Amino acid sequence: MSALAAARGTGMRSLSRPCLITLACLALSACAVQQRPTNVSSEAQLTPATPSALNLKQLPAPQHKIVAAVYGFRDETGQYKPSPDSSFSTAVTQGAASMLMKALKDSGWYVPVEREGLQSLLTERRVLRAVDEHPQDGGPQGQVPNLLPASIILEGGIIAYDSNTRTGGLGAQFLGIGLSTQYSVDQVTVNLRAVDVMTGAVLDSVSTTKTIYSYEIHPSYFRFVNYYDLLEIEGGYTHNEPAQLAVKEAIDAAVMHLTVQGIRDGQWRLRNPADWNAPVIQRYLKAEQDEAITVTPRSAAKPDEPSAMKNNG
Would you call 80 helix, strand, or coil by DSSP?
A: strand
pLDDT of residue 5: 44
Number of domains in the chain: 1
Chain centroid to Cα 212, Å, comes to 7
- Residue 26, CB half-sphere, CA atoms under 13 Å: how many? 6
pLDDT of residue 297: 52
pLDDT tens-digit profile of 18-57?
A: 555 555 555 555 554 455 555 556 777 888 888 898 999 9
In a domain, 39, yes or no: no
In a domain, 303, yes or no: no
pLDDT of residue 85: 61
The overall pTM is greater than 0.85 = no
pLDDT of residue 7: 41
Cβ–Cβ under 8 Å, residues 108 and 64: no
Amino acid (1-letter code) at residue 266: G
pLDDT of residue 139: 53
As a whole number of angstroms, the distance between CA 108 and CA 199 comes to 25
In a domain, 18, yes or no: no
Q: What are phi and psi of 59, to 5 degrees?
A: -65, 140
Chain centroid to Cα 20, Å, comes to 48
As a whole number of angstroms, the distance between CA 18 and CA 40 comes to 37
As a whole number of angstroms, the distance between CA 20 and CA 225 comes to 9
Q: Which residues of the chain have pLDDT under 50?
A: 1-15, 32-33, 294-296, 300-313
Share of the chain above pLDDT 90, in %: 27
In a domain, 13, yes or no: no
pLDDT of residue 235: 85
In a domain, 265, yes or no: yes
Q: In 3D, which of 252, 2, 5 has the Cα closest to residue 105?
A: 252
In a domain, 11, yes or no: no
Burial class (CB in 10 A: 0-12, 13-18, 19+), 110: buried
Domain that holds residue 58: 47-133+147-289
pLDDT of residue 91: 80
pLDDT of residue 40: 59
In a domain, 120, yes or no: yes
**The domain that contains 61 carries what CATH number?**
3.40.50.10610
In a domain, 307, yes or no: no
Burial class (CB in 10 A: 0-12, 13-18, 19+), 248: buried
